[in-house]
């Protein structure tokens, strides 16, 4: 192998710390450059979203050809991989959560029969995108997947060999917080994520109502909802409005102050990839309660460094919240262990694991000519 290799990274994102995918790509880029790779990104800044969003991969291929650089490897986000694969360049597909599984696991938020006219007109393009996604998962020579459930799904549904799949780990930023460090005040439950049904918003509200009925009164801190305070509170009963604080948008540098306010962290999602907020909560020494699915199962060991509950089971979630809020020793024990378990997940460590696998893949391909 030569001293320098070139990687083209395709994903409709900007590489920065403002989004989950952007943050992961940022650390992958840094790790590749440390190893001497040339890294070129094709994202929303380089390839603006076309009018028909399913055609972004076509626009990205056109942009790459216009640049005229020869790459040694394509690193492509799941839906675009098949479109980019046919260039005589080895293509690695990465996914932050298989889209097909998300569509199967998440309760519908709207009646698909009531699609707007515009959506009906673009349906053939979305179906084409789905077909491309499926072909990429079946034929790209290496898949970078984000949790063991996705890995099992790829083996079962696409006939993939286990050796052709690498489950990558997301990382954490070091936090000075310890389990015992907590802002004084009433017990506070932190939910950190978009206010969507996929994230289990209805489950969270139902659990909160059950707790109030049982005489357990808590504060609810809802961060990064994207939705406005008014829109979020509309999903809560009026009796709880005074106990709910909504921060629709926060900067990453505010994370330590956010986690310090939390007595516990909850993640009631029906579907996730490998949630960064969960990892960072554990790095901050918080006691975590997450749904038993997806990447959460790879991270949280029930009763060891947090708790897991059945997705959608608001009663079980409420019971676990009441348990850890009422037992400080248990809460601190779980939070302390969670922080210990995050020591191996610093971003340079996990990003280097990805580069190791890519280099192994390139070496194997070069050996086979």
Q: What is the pLDDT of residue 102?
A: 82
Distance from C-alpha of 166 to C-alpha of 307, rounded to nearest angstrom: 26
* pLDDT 10s digits, 338-357: 999 999 999 999 999 999 99
| DSSP structure string for 32-92 | HHHTTEEEEEESTTTSPPPSSGGGHHHHHHHHHHHHT---SEEEEEGGGHHHHHTTSS-EE
pLDDT over 50 (residue 2): no
Among residues of the chain, what percentage have pLDDT more than 70?
Answer: 94
* pLDDT 10s digits, 8-29: 999 999 999 888 999 999 999 9
The ranges assigned to domains in the chain are 5-170+347-367, 188-345
Q: What is the pLDDT of residue 152?
A: 97
Measured over the CA atoms of residue 104, residue 107, residue 111 and residue 116, the dihedral's sign is negative
* pLDDT 10s digits, 75-119: 999 999 999 998 778 999 999 999 888 877 777 654 444 445 446
pLDDT over 70 (residue 189): yes
User: What integer best gives the mean pLDDT of the chain?
Assistant: 92
Does 368 or 85 have the greater pLDDT score?
85
Q: What is the pLDDT of residue 3?
A: 55
Q: What is the pLDDT of residue 109?
A: 57
* pLDDT 10s digits, 289-321: 999 999 999 999 999 999 999 999 999 999 999
pLDDT over 80 (residue 145): yes
Q: What is the pLDDT of residue 134?
A: 93
Say whether 188-345 and 5-170+347-367 share the same fold: yes
Contacts of 159 (CB under 8 A, 6+ apart): 138
Does 72 or 109 have the greater pLDDT score?
72
167 strand-pairing partners: 145
Sheet holding 287-291, edge to edge: 244-247, 219-223, 188-192, 264-267, 287-291, 307-309
What topology is assigned to 5-170+347-367 in CATH? Rossmann fold (3.40.50)
Average pLDDT over residues 230-235: 97
192 strand-pairing partners: 223
Domain 188-345: top CATH class = alpha beta
76 strand-pairing partners: 10, 93
Q: Which residue has the tokens 């509309």?
A: 234
């Amino acid at each position: 192998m030569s001293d320098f290799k070139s990687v083209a990274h395709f994903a409709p994102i900007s590489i920065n710390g403002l989004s989950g995918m952007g943050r992961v790509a940022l650390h992958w880029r840094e790790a590749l450059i440390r190893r001497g790779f040339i890294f070129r990104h094709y994202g929303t800044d380089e390839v603006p979203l076309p009018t028909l969003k399913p055609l972004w991969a076509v626009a990205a291929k056109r942009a790459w050809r216009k640049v005229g650089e020869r790459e040694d490897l394509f690193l492509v986000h799941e839906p675009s991989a098949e479109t980019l694969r046919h260039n005589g360049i080895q293509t690695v597909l990465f996914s932050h959560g298989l889209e097909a599984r998300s569509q199967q696991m998440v309760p519908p938020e709207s009646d698909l029969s009531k699609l707007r006219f515009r959506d009906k007109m673009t349906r053939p393009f979305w179906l084409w995108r789905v077909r491309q996604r499926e072909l990429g998962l079946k034929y790209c020579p290496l898949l970078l997947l984000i949790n063991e459930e996705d890995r099992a799904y790829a083996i079962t549904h696409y006939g993939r060999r286990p050796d052709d799949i690498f489950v990558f780990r997301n990382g954490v930023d070091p936090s000075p917080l310890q389990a015992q460090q907590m802002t004084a005040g009433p017990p506070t439950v932190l939910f950190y994520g978009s206010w969507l049904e996929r994230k289990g918003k209805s489950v969270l509200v139902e659990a909160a109502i059950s707790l109030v009925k049982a005489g357990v009164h808590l504060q609810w801190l809802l961060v990064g909802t994207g939705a406005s305070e008014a829109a979020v509170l509309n999903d809560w009963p009026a009796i709880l409005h005074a106990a709910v604080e909504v921060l629709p948008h926060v900067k990453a540098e505010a994370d330590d102050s956010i986690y310090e306010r939390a007595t516990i962290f909850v993640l009631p999602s029906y579907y996730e990839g490998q949630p960064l907020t969960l990892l960072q909560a554990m790095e901050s020494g918080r006691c975590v309660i997450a749904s038993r699915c997806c990447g959460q199962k790879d991270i949280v060991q029930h009763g060891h460094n947090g708790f897991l509950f059945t997705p959608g089971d608001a009663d079980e979630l409420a019971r676990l919240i009441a348990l850890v809020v009422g037992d400080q020793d248990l809460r601190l024990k779980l939070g302390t262990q969670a922080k210990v378990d995050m020591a191996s997940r610093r971003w340079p460590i996990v990003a280097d694991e990805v580069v190791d696998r890519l280099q192994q893949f390139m070496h194997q391909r070069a050996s086979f000519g």
